[in-house]
Amino acid sequence: MRSAIIVFPGSNCDRDAQVALREITGHEPEMVWHKSGKLPDRLDLVMVPGGFSYGDYLRCGAIAANSPIISTLREHAQRGGYVLGICNGFQVLCETGLLPGALIRNASLHFACKPQPLRISARDSAFTRSYGDTDNILIPIAHHDGNYVADEATLDRLEGEGLVAFRYIGNPNGSARDIAGVLSDNGRILGMMPHPERAIGGHEGGDHGRALFDSLLSSL
């Protein structure tokens, strides 16, 4: 699987993503500085990592969504390439319009950082098939603006079309309908606030994120 990770000023989970992709795919992902304006050719997956791009000024992800690299990210998505946005990456994807909705301040007004139980909602997606019959998983969260919001019509459509990938068990941030991750209409873009790249086995104390990357490999 050929992959790339977009790096913004303020990204701090890009190295976690690099380690996860290297270990699971056996290939070194390309680290692409956002101002390069160009992604490598023939990519299968582009990851938009977590962190605090541009210091989270304005709205989280809003400045990054106007970066020179975004036009080629759109082209990759329009060709049917896979995109995974995690935490700040989810915020960026919503700000670009590649995913619906927005992420706002946690309802508690506190930073949430803990292992978080999730329920798998979209079982037959390119990102979840390897979970098999597993219902619930444990994935770390670390965010201050993870409260997913959208208008009722959008929420109804996401649920009706099976585009809610993950839901929180014990909602930590006030997200509408407990939504922790959503898919694009074609199922090839996933945005989620929890960090599967921090749960691939080893020192993290859990491996429930590994199946997400295994699912992508199987899909390809």
Task: Return the HEC string of 97-140.
Answer: CCCCCEEECCCCCCCEEEEEEEEECCCCCCCCHHHCCCCEEEEE
User: Which contacts qualify for 70-76: CB closer than 8 Å, 24 or more apart?
Assistant: 70/96, 71/37, 72/37, 72/38, 72/39, 73/6, 73/39, 73/46, 73/48, 73/98, 74/98, 76/39, 76/43, 76/46
Calculate the alpha carbon distances from 16 to 22, 50, 51 in Å. 10, 9, 11
| Marked catalytic residue, from 34, 87, 95, 143 | 87
Judge whether 195 counts as a catalytic residue: yes
Candidate list 76, 144, 195, 208, residue with the active-site label: 195
- Give me Rg for the CA atoms of the chain: 16
- Which one of the listed residues 13, 95, 144, 197 is annotated catalytic? 197
Q: Known catalytic residue: 23?
A: no
Tokens of 35: 């101002």
DSSP state, residue 53: G
Active site residues: 87, 195, 197
